[in-house]
Amino acid sequence: MGDTIVLTTPLTEEALAGLRAGDSVLITGTVLAARDAAHKRLADLIEKGEPLPVEIAGKVIYYAGPSPAKPDKPIGSVGPTTSGRMDAYTPMLLDLGLKGMIGKGYRNQAVKDAIVRNKAVYFASMGGAAALNAQRITAARIVAYEDLGPEAIRELDVVDFPAVVVNDIYGGDIYDEGRREYERTVGT
């Protein structure tokens, strides 16, 4: 855990190869925002063999549903939702080339395995910092499922969006490492 690493989307395997669980990053570029309902629709299309309404390969999905934007702002508060809510759908999106996810909380083993298999990364964003996260978003556009309101798929332009690598392409997991360290120093 050293200096903050600057990443630009779309993410490449080369960029992800340099990341380790625990690294702090700043993400700049375009990120998709989508939550449960949108993920369910995407999964249904994948299972039917139908095309998706958005390109997934090389992309990052931020698990978030923003509040309405105030006048002269591109987006309202936009904090991360619990990532485990997307676990049932995530491996199939990773298999289609998704390279990053931003959320909060643990991922199940199937997701962790798919992250390693597809050389992708899971980032955590600070829960409770929704208003601060919104300040890092310079533009927001609905690109699919407008009928879902806050859960519609949005394309967000982000500048220096802060996150921490939770799961890296090598199987590293900052939550597991933290638990082991705690048990080593305190829990015995």
Mean pLDDT of 170-188: 78
**Highest mean pLDDT range out of 22-31, 66-75, 176-185?**
22-31
| 173 belongs to a structural domain | no
| 146 belongs to a structural domain | yes
Q: What is the pLDDT of residue 188?
A: 56
**Statement: residue 152 has pLDDT above 70:** yes
| 65 belongs to a structural domain | yes
Q: Among 75, 85, 58, 48, which residue's Cα sits nearest to residue 132?
A: 75
Q: What is the pLDDT of residue 133?
A: 82
The confidence band for 2, taking pLDDT boundaries of 50, 70 and 90, is low
What residue numbers bound the domain in which 49 lies? 5-164
Q: What is the pLDDT of residue 174?
A: 92
Mean pLDDT of 85-91: 97
The confidence band for 183, taking pLDDT boundaries of 50, 70 and 90, is confident
Mean pLDDT of the chain: 93
| 175 belongs to a structural domain | no
The CATH number of the domain holding residue 18 is 3.20.130.10
Q: Is 175 exposed, middle or buried (0-12, 13-18, 19+ CB in 10 A)?
A: middle
| 181 belongs to a structural domain | no
* Total of domains in the chain: 1
| 42 belongs to a structural domain | yes
Q: What is the pLDDT of residues 10-23, one digit of tens each?
A: 999 999 999 999 99
Please give the share of the chain, as a percent, with pLDDT higher than 70: 95
The confidence band for 3, taking pLDDT boundaries of 50, 70 and 90, is confident
The confidence band for 4, taking pLDDT boundaries of 50, 70 and 90, is very high
**Statement: residue 61 has pLDDT above 70:** yes
| 185 belongs to a structural domain | no
Mean pLDDT of 111-123: 98
| 114 belongs to a structural domain | yes
